[in-house]
Structure 1
Amino acid sequence: MAAGDAPPNVPVPWGKLLQWVQEQLVVEKETDQPAALTRLQLEAISHLVSFNEEPEVGNQDYVSLLIQKVQILRLSNPVFADELPVSLPVDGHFQFRWRCVCTLAPYGVFPRDGFGFAAGQQAPLFQSKKTAKQFAAKHALAYLSDALQTLTPNLKKRPLQSSQAESPEPSPAGQAQQKKLSLSPGPPSTGGKQSIFEQVSIVVSRLGIDNPAYRIEPDPTGSGLFCGRPVFQNGGRIPSQVGVVSGIASETLAKQRIAELVLAWGEEEFQKRQRLLFKTLWGPATAKNMDKDKDKAAVVDAAQGVPGSGEAAK
């Protein structure tokens, strides 16, 4: 091998590189936005670290398994939709990666926080649309399986009281009704009325959005007032002005007001998606009837475990 073919033994200026990285971190912390790097910089970094970790999906046909499951449970067929591709640097070149969203009425969208990715993270991207679809179906199926496993939890471990021992065994019809109610999605029990922040968490989860952080700052107008906005990690489709507040007397009130605005928007957005879903699955007449009949809409909300409209005002 000629001397010119060998890798040059050049010392790397690690200190300067570390300083540059720290500067980018400061910029991102101040702006809550990714650092504005050039295409060449991103391509160079992709030689060193991966911009996307693609999870293992397995070889099972989760789409078919999910369809079989919803037919057994007499639910509506899942609706799959590919999101717009995301261009990521991979080994020095930009390539498209894909996400797929599975809408499973009345349980919401998958993948989502707790089913496909952890809190504060985004749904993973995949090299192929087919794998992305299987991933979405896999976690929708996991949600249904978890719901089935919650039927009468730890019933055998609890000692029977005298009133329970003397109660007649429920009829097959009653057992079927119990199973139907147990499968209905709903918020976790907290032993009391849910806070506005717990309601926000439930609503955004139904929309497939991560729970927001609340950024509160002194209002530029001064006078001891505060302004703020919600910060979503994977909220690319959320209008930028949702939850923005200013001129609030305290940080606590500012955070409360942001949550109220996010909750109001989330409830309205959820209803829009429900109407669109019903229109797609059952035709325009069903969606039209939902708009006219508020009581029916409230029943749908209750079945979803979504707080009813007007909660934000409280």
Structure 2
Amino acid sequence: MKHKAQLYSRFFTSKFHREQKESHTSHSLPFYLQPTSINLAFHTSPTHHTNTQILALNPHIIQTHIYEAMANQNSAALSGGIPWDQLIKFANEKKAEEEKSGRPAQLNQQQIIAISQLIDLVHDIEVEDKWVGELNKYCQQNRLPLPIFAPETFSLQVYGTNVPRSRVTCIITSKQESFPKEGYGYEAGQEVPSFKKAQKAKNFAAMHALRFLQGTGPSSRGNKRSASMTQESPSHTRVKAEEDTCDGGVSTASPSSSKDTGARTPISSTTAASTAASITATQGLAIRERVAVLGERLGFGIPEYCIEQSTIVDDDGETWMGRPVFRNDGRIPEGMGVVTGIAGRQQAEDLVAEKVLEWLQKEEKLREEQAASIGSV
């Protein structure tokens, strides 16, 4: 053992002197031969009583301190911290670029993804986490059926990157109302708010449902809009700016009819289209409500509508695909409710809901027939 230690010592000592000679030009030693590492990695042999101390190599200590020295080097490289000045300079340059061009700054995909990790590209509305509990408590105290929550997850494209978002619809079956809706969560022409986390979206919907039940919102005080006015779906509200940029229409009423009925507001083709879209959106919402109620009754739960942009692009532009996601999907056929190649996101979601409702109605009828056949035996 003593002989082996001496061999190790001679080898490493000669290596040490060789490195020292080479270091005369660079004035630095390898990290594993720095004085601190040498002192710790070697120890004097207790068996020698001469004035010359023999260094005995301890391989385990050497390995440990090599790793420590490497870690120290990495720490030293980052000791200056994040170069915030460069980051601020980059942001100022992009801001100046936008002010000069009047258009969003040009960013590549990696830059957008990196920025999305630092800040939220879509800001959430502040909402407390107490409203679901408050709503359930109110319903129990007033002997109302508990609310039904229908979640929806989707990807929102922001600056060319997909940002996952959530919406939740709160259904009050005793009042045949769903929230959020116009006047409860958003105003006419506004997008229905979406959230980073589904729990926040759920509390947002519950908060406005409770305000409606307590009579603290506009609709419950009788400030209802007429049915002819545009009311977008709570799932997807189109921006009113689209309508504002359209050409105004011309009155189609004749002079005689104007005398009979009084002055009429000119009806534009845009308004007519908006009204038609409103009817379709309202029907889509009613379908989703029926899906939620029927899904709960049959034990499948309330589905989420997963709508994503498809990689397939047709002549008219981008297309969408969608599918339902059930909590209890053990008996649900594979591919049920799946749609692909749909021209619009809203249309894709509505079509998924229609297919799900159709299947649930068939399932309910089948169960009723089975129950009737068993009862007749």
TM-score range, shorter chain: 0.3 to 0.5
For the pair shown, which has the larger CA radius of gyration, 1 or 2? 2
TM-score by length of 2: 0.39
TM-score by length of 1: 0.46
